Amino acid sequence: MATGRTHRPATRSRGIPEATVARLPLYLRALTALSERSVPTVSSEELAAAAGVNSAKLRKDFSYLGSYGTRGVGYDVEYLVYQISRELGLTQDWPVVIVGIGNLGAALANYGGFASRGFRVAALIDADPQLTGKAVAGIPVQHTDDLEKIIQDNGVSIGVIATPAGAAQQVCDRLVAAGVTSILNFAPTVLSVPDGVDVRKVDLSIELQILAFHEQRKAGEEAAGEAAVPAAAQRGDSADQGPDGDMPAVMPA
């Protein structure tokens, strides 16, 4: 099976917009669920609803893949699963290393969704000598001293950083120098990388802060709505009054 070091996804050469690329995994997740239920075809409206996008945007996204569906029938689920998987590079083996095997790194190592989506955890790496040789998710942890050799031996092009913030940039630099060209960063810091290296950042605290903002706004709107009720009562407003404050012209029988 091909490894990630010598094969790149087809999306860049095909000119697919980044916004479309970002939605492809959403479509794939929805399609996989349909496939598991043995659903043969799906309409653009049904698939868009399952993916959380509007159907016009979905049809536009699929046009970049050269997939237009069949009028009155919809899209073939199995074919779309293959087509999107191919565009995302998931029809080949992508060896991944996880650096930083604390609570988060260990949780990532134990995540069963990697293998089913074309990613193989090739190695777990940590700076703590007490963790060296310890098995996590059935994989022995290796020391960071061997990072470069591990990358070369396993043909790794994707690295996951789950270290503390203070160590993340140094780890990133070593990964890039060893040949890693894509990094998923869970460390709460912004990484500096050279051109040609892609970084995706996952910051759980930022996501929680965004949710806190929305919760605060909802609470403020509720409080404003409750305050409006007594104010209306003080003005003498009533559902029985007409638009000018008079009694309705037509009274109920």
Q: Which residues of the chain have pLDDT under 50?
A: 1-13, 238-240, 242-253
pLDDT value of residue 39? 94
Note the pLDDT of residue 248. Answer: 43
| Integer Cα distance of 123 and 146 in angstroms | 11
Residue 44, token pair as written in the block: 């653009």
pLDDT of res. 237 = 54
Name the token pair of 234.
């003080």
Question: Which pLDDT value is given to residue 51?
Answer: 94
Q: Which residues pair with 76 in a beta bridge?
A: 41
pLDDT at residue 76 in the model:
93
SS3 assignment, position 185: strand
| Average model confidence (pLDDT) across the chain | 85
Please report, rounded to a whole number, the percentage of residues in the chain having pLDDT higher than 70.
Answer: 85
CA R_g for the chain: 26
Give residue 234's pLDDT: 60
**φ, ψ dihedrals at 75, nearest 5°:** -105, 140
This model's pTM is above 0.75: no
Per DSSP, the three-state class of 140 is strand
Q: Whole-angstrom Cα distance, residue 161 to residue 4?
A: 18
| pLDDT at residue number 3 | 40
Q: What is the pLDDT of residue 229?
A: 64
The count of other CB atoms within 10 Å of the CB of residue 191 is 18
Cα distances (Å, whole numbers) of residue 42 to 33, 71, 80, 107, 204: 12, 11, 10, 34, 34
